[in-house]
Amino acid sequence: MGDFKEIYIQELNKTFGKKKAVCDFNLTIKSGEFVTLLGPSGSGKSTVLNCIAGLIPITSGKIYIDDECIDDGINSVPAEKRNFGMVFQNYALFPHLNVFDNVAFGLKIRKVNKELITKKVKDVLDLVHLSEHIYEFPGQISGGEQQRVALARCIVIEPRLMLLDEPLSNLDAKLRIEMRYELKALHKRLGITTIYVTHDQQEALALSDRIVVMAEGKIQQVGTPEEIYSTPESLFVASFMGFRNIWPVQINSFRSDNEVSLRIGQLEILAKLQDKYKKSPLRAKGGNIPIFAAVRPEDIQIGDGPVNQIDVRVEVVEYLGQVKQIWATAYEETFIELSTINPLNAKPGEVIRIWIPPEKILVFSEEES
């Protein structure tokens, strides 16, 4: 089983008893891609990863490497023969083996000769900047260094696919950022096809060629980081990707094919309709189904604006260094969260003016949530 052009996952389903963990999962991954499965706990992302790895049996569906079916729920290529590398959340290092022997373990299982093992291990430890720790034990090195050992153990076997299951979640914030850079640099240098699992949106945006957003075992959206961030296709994806202001709205009128007047309680705002609404399916449905507007806190501006001006009462202010997080209310009924670097020294109880650019407001029907 050598190099490949693509991995194709067709109608993958996995159930545990009566619980459906993965439902009708379809995805094609090109050779050399870095694809992230992103979603909250229980969304099925780690289950998909373990099915691909061959660590758990699939209930139905098929997994292909090019034209070869490696798993159809009945016939399955054993995990150890797939030549996939796996990095686990807890690193899974052997505490009684030093760094060299931990990294060399997979090569010894494959009966590689000692001279080649020594060369490969030293080369990969140099690649992950761990050469000076070669004879230390896991308990003697930091969490970030242990994570690099786990990566080195995966890379040294020259896997055709690398599977990473929340590998940075046990690290502190500074180390996570450093390891994100290391992972990005390693992928660029080695070009190993990678499937990465995380619940962290920033990790997914920073690392991925494509992101697969999951919820309740189903794919919600697949796209580039820019597409997932800027043009979420459903209310769930929007809320998961940082659109924390989500308001039930009523449609007042359509100003044009791509602009709509909305009512939020006593507020009236203008919004730009997404491309999918430019033929105005909401015109027919707007009176029959719930409609929501979504806005990111950082897209709300402080001060006077050309449209969508709102006077709000400040309720809570959080100082976060460069950024201030402000929670406010309009007409004592609509909560608005904004994030600003504006030096305004707003205090709870004060009234400030904000405005929202119409193009920053996304509109969703409940059918898509």
Mutual angle of helices 114-127 and 143-155, in 10-degree steps: 130
Does residue 36 sit in the same domain as residue 74? yes
Q: Can you give the pLDDT at residue 170?
A: 82
For 47-56, how does the pLDDT look when each residue is reduced to its tens digit (9 = 90+)?
A: 999 999 999 9
For 259-287, how does the pLDDT look when each residue is reduced to its tens digit (9 = 90+)?
A: 889 999 899 999 988 776 655 555 544 45
Mean pLDDT of all residues in the chain? 91
In sequence order, the 6+-apart residues with CB closer than 8 A to the CB of 304 are: 353, 355
Q: Can you give the pLDDT at residue 287?
A: 52
For 55-68, how does the pLDDT look when each residue is reduced to its tens digit (9 = 90+)?
A: 999 999 999 999 99
* Domain's final residue, options 172, 207, 235: 235
Residue 69 lies inside a defined structural domain of this protein: yes
Does residue 343 sit in the same domain as residue 214? no
Residue 31 lies inside a defined structural domain of this protein: yes
Separation of alpha carbons 47 and 57, rounded Å: 10
Residue 1 lies inside a defined structural domain of this protein: no
Asked if 200 contacts 41 with a C-beta cutoff of 8 angstroms, the reply is: no
Residue 164 lies inside a defined structural domain of this protein: yes
pLDDT of 86 higher than 70: yes
Q: Can you give the pLDDT at residue 368?
A: 59
Q: Where in the sequence is the domain holding 353, given as residue range(s)?
A: 239-368
Residue 11 lies inside a defined structural domain of this protein: yes
Asked if 6 contacts 30 with a C-beta cutoff of 8 angstroms, the reply is: yes
- Which contiguous run of DSSP H or E holds residue 125? helix 114-127
Q: Can you give the pLDDT at residue 345?
A: 84
Separation of alpha carbons 191 and 156, rounded Å: 14
Question: What's the predicted TM-score (pTM) here?
Answer: 0.90
Q: Is 13 exposed, middle or buried (0-12, 13-18, 19+ CB in 10 A)?
A: middle
191 or 278, which is more confident: 191
Does residue 76 sit in the same domain as residue 149? yes
For 281-293, how does the pLDDT look when each residue is reduced to its tens digit (9 = 90+)?
A: 555 444 557 889 9
Separation of alpha carbons 134 and 136, rounded Å: 6
The pair phi, psi for residue 41, each rounded to 5°, is: -60, 140
Tokens, residue 65 = 């490497």
Separation of alpha carbons 243 and 240, rounded Å: 7
Separation of alpha carbons 162 and 293, rounded Å: 39
Does residue 20 sit in the same domain as residue 165? yes
* Domain's final residue, options 192, 208, 235: 235
3-state secondary structure at position 165 = strand
Give the pLDDT band (50/70/90) at residue 254.
confident
DSSP state, residue 46: H
Does residue 114 sit in the same domain as residue 151? yes
Beta bridge partners of 14: 22
* Structural domains of the chain, count: 2
Asked if 164 contacts 16 with a C-beta cutoff of 8 angstroms, the reply is: no
pLDDT of 229 higher than 70: yes
For 207-221, how does the pLDDT look when each residue is reduced to its tens digit (9 = 90+)?
A: 999 999 999 999 999
Q: Can you give the pLDDT at residue 179?
A: 86
Strands 193-198 and 34-38, how do they pair? parallel
* Domain's final residue, options 180, 208, 235: 235
pLDDT of 32 higher than 80: yes
Beta bridge partners of 106: none
Does residue 210 sit in the same domain as residue 250? no
Q: Can you give the pLDDT at residue 282?
A: 57
Q: Can you give the pLDDT at residue 295?
A: 96
Q: Print burial letters for 97-128: b (CB count within 10 Å at least 16), e (below 16).
A: ebbbbbbbbbbeeeebeeeebeebbeebbebb
Give the N- to C-terminal CA distance of the chain in Å, as an integer.
Answer: 41
Does residue 186 sit in the same domain as residue 263? no
Does residue 223 sit in the same domain as residue 171? yes
Percent of the chain with pLDDT over 70: 95
Separation of alpha carbons 314 and 301, rounded Å: 14
Beta bridge partners of 165: 197
Cα dihedral sign, 325-326-327-330: negative
Does residue 184 sit in the same domain as residue 322? no
Q: Can you give the pLDDT at residue 278?
A: 56
Does residue 76 sit in the same domain as residue 180? yes
CATH number of domain containing 21? 3.40.50.300
For 323-335, how does the pLDDT look when each residue is reduced to its tens digit (9 = 90+)?
A: 999 999 999 889 9
Does residue 324 sit in the same domain as residue 223? no
Asked if 61 contacts 73 with a C-beta cutoff of 8 angstroms, the reply is: yes
Cα dihedral sign, 245-247-252-255: positive
115 or 281, which is more confident: 115
Asked if 223 contacts 192 with a C-beta cutoff of 8 angstroms, the reply is: no
Q: Can you give the pLDDT at residue 1?
A: 41
Does residue 122 sit in the same domain as residue 200? yes
Least confident of 30-39, 69-78, 166-175: 166-175
